[in-house]
């Protein structure tokens, strides 16, 4: 079965179960500021998981583009990818564990005709890190009734069988994962489902979102119980085709073939990394990300440069990224037209980044040449950190020159670096960064007022290009060709605060996209839903198509203060703002 056939079969199966097909959200989250990228199909659905009515109903299904860097160090093994396609179906306060698990099993066994004897499952077995939540015995009982024996059911902790929340707070719950025995020999007695030994391929995950984690670490029942399930297209396609890795399917075959044609020193793991990273980079650029030294741009830059580094290790010395991207585009543009539409942009960004990085590599080699016969761990790590040299590249160069590398010393330096990075991340995300708390909801509603205020002051051509809201600040990106004057900034700020002071009602309506356009709503993210969209009106001042969470009245927002206005890129500006405190303390 091809990937295309798998996707069609999945959508058709859940349509028969009463689900409505919704389009994939972009890789850049539209209304969820808790992550840089859309890492799962549930991210665009958070407001609906929390109880808001979805325009398409309570049962949803789709094929979602997804991107994760959590497993980047595992890329190159048989099963891990950064970019992937995820088949997902959701129950928003409708069916629960029994139906979700039975349908998952039915699809695997009856629709895909997988061997039941090769299916293993993991469930949440309880964990002290999730206080007050017991082991999921209900799920274990359901699996046993379906014929999965005790010795194929693994009770695991939070690390393996608990999902969420995305930030420090929000919806979360236990999950049950399905694995397929690929027949690859075990690597000793420790190999089990969930390990990276290669024997078991995870093909499905049912998440049961029944809790909301609060800021003080408590797990409280959600207003509604939700089911969020996912099946990876790449992994399942490989299993269905009897392959022992995702790179042997038609999803990667042409890409791997192109890399092999270019490589002088073919090595499978390195080629897989190149294929994965450039496929992911192609999709990220198509969805609007450009290489930079911050946030999304930094992740994209890291992928491209990592692919270039590994390309050198397999003997690719010519410019090659656009050659590989061309194959990616040919392979995927039928299902994902955006990669074809943005072909020239993808080529331009890749070529520019490849040219820049090759200069850095050249400087790194000059630095390498000056090192002595014994390269210390610190020197090897400096080559990695300052010039992007992976340890393998340093070892290869050292071998050519008859030098030795202190590998153990490098590993120690690398571990110290990771510790510092983790500490920095914890500091950056301290205090419940970008979640779905009251503060971020207030900030999100304020961006609607800001958007309309900018249009009134600057002109109707202004449109939002991005936003990021944390409990501490608001960041709003918009189209505008030049710097705002102090007078314009003050006027925008005054308009927003006036609308907050007027205590306007925030009203949500569901309507067709055509109806939304005719009503005057700003269509920021058209095409998200197949039939209906959510339209939020703030009095008669603002009307937008939006799927985020909002306050009920503007008086709940607080005083709005612009702290900075700056250039973001050609034709784009960024406003940074804060909500100083609740309105009643400021306007009374």
Is 546 annotated in a binding site? The answer is yes
Contact 104, 204 (CB under 8 A): yes
Beta bridge partners of 449: none
DSSP secondary structure string for all residues of 354-378: HHHHHHHHHHHHHHHHTS-SEE-HH
d(C-alpha 162, C-alpha 194), whole Å: 13
d(C-alpha 434, C-alpha 442), whole Å: 12
d(C-alpha 246, C-alpha 177), whole Å: 19
Strands 219-232 and 83-92: antiparallel
Is 550 annotated in a binding site? The answer is yes
- Give me 576's structure tokens: 């940074």
Nearest to 315 by CA among 354, 370, 274, 348: 274
Is 448 annotated in a binding site? The answer is yes
Nearest to 450 by CA among 524, 541, 518, 375: 541
DSSP secondary structure string for all residues of 490-524: HHHHHHHHHHHHTT-BEEEEEEEHHHHHHTT-B-T
Nearest to 176 by CA among 128, 220, 208, 131: 208
Contact 87, 230 (CB under 8 A): yes
CA–CA distances in Å: residue 490 to residues 174, 497, 542, 562, 565: 48, 11, 19, 8, 11
d(C-alpha 247, C-alpha 267), whole Å: 13
Contact 97, 146 (CB under 8 A): no
d(C-alpha 377, C-alpha 140), whole Å: 49
Dihedral sign, Cα of residue 14, residue 20, residue 21, residue 24: negative
d(C-alpha 76, C-alpha 63), whole Å: 24
**Residues in the annotated binding site:** 444, 448, 546, 550
**Residues in the annotated binding site for Zn(2+):** 444, 448, 546, 550
């Amino acid at each position: 079965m091809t990937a295309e056939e798998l996707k069609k079969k999945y959508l058709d199966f859940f349509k028969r179960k009463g689900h409505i097909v919704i389009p994939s959200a972009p890789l850049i989250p539209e209304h969820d500021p808790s992550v840089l990228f859309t890492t799962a199909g549930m991210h665009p659905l958070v407001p609906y998981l929390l109880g808001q009515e979805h325009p398409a109903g309570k049962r949803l299904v789709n094929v979602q583009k997804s991107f994760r860097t959590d497993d980047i160090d595992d890329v190159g093994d048989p099963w891990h990818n950064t970019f992937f396609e995820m088949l997902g179906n959701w129950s928003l306060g409708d069916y629960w564990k029994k139906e979700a698990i039975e349908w998952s099993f039915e699809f695997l066994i009856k629709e895909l005709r997988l061997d039941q004897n090769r299916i293993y499952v993991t469930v949440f077995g309880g964990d002290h890190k999730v206080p007050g939540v017991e082991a999921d015995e209900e799920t274990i009982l359901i699996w046993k009734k379906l014929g999965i024996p005790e010795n194929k059911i693994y009770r695991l902790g939070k690390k393996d069988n608990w999902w969420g929340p995305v930030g420090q707070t929000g919806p979360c719950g236990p999950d049950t994962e399905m694995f397929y025995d690929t027949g690859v020999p075990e690597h000793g007695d420790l190999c089990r489902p969930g390990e990276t030994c290669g024997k078991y391929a995870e093909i499905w995950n049912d998440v049961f979102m029944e809790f909301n984690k609060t800021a003080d670490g408590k797990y409280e029942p959600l207003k509604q119980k939700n089911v969020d399930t996912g099946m990876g297209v790449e992994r399942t396609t490989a299993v269905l085709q009897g392959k022992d890795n995702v790179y042997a399917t038609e999803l990667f075959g042409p890409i791997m073939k192109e890399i092999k044609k270019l490589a002088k020193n073919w090595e499978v793991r390195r080629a897989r990394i190149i294929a994965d990273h450039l496929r992911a980079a192609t999709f990220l650029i198509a969805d609007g990300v450009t290489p930079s030294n911050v946030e999304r741009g930094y992740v994209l830059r890291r992928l491209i440069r990592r692919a270039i580094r590994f390309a050198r290790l397999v003997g690719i010395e010519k410019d090659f990224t656009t050659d590989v991207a061309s194959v990616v585009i040919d392979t995927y543009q039928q299902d994902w037209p955006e990669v074809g539409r943005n072909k020239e942009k993808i080529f331009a960004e890749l070529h520019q980044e490849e040219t820049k990085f090759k200069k850095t590599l050249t400087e790194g080699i000059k630095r390498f040449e000056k090192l002595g016969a014994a390269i210390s761990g610190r020197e090897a790590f400096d080559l990695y950190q300052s010039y992007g040299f992976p340890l393998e590249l340093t070892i290869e160069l050292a071998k050519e020159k008859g030098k030795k590398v202190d590998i153990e010393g490098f590993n120690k330096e690398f571990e110290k670096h990771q510790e510092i990075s983790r500490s920095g991340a914890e500091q950056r995300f301290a205090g419940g960064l970008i979640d779905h708390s009251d503060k971020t909801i207030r900030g999100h509603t304020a961006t609607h007022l800001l958007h309309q205020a900018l249009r009134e002051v600057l002109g109707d051509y202004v449109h939002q290009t991005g936003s990021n809201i944390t409990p501490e600040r608001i960041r709003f990106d918009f189209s505008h060709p030049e710097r705002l004057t102090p007078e314009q900034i003050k006027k925008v700020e005054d308009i927003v605060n006036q609308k907050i002071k007027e205590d306007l009602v925030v009203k949500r309506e569901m309507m067709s996209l055509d109806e939304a356009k005719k009503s005057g709503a700003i269509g920021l993210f058209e095409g998200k839903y197949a039939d209906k969209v959510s339209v939020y009106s703030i009095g008669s001042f603002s009307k937008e198509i939006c799927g985020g969470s909002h306050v009920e009245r503007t008086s709940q927002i607080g005083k709005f203060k612009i702290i900075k206005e700056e250039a973001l890129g050609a034709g784009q500006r960024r406003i940074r703002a804060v909500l100083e405190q609740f309105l009643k303390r400021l306007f009374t």
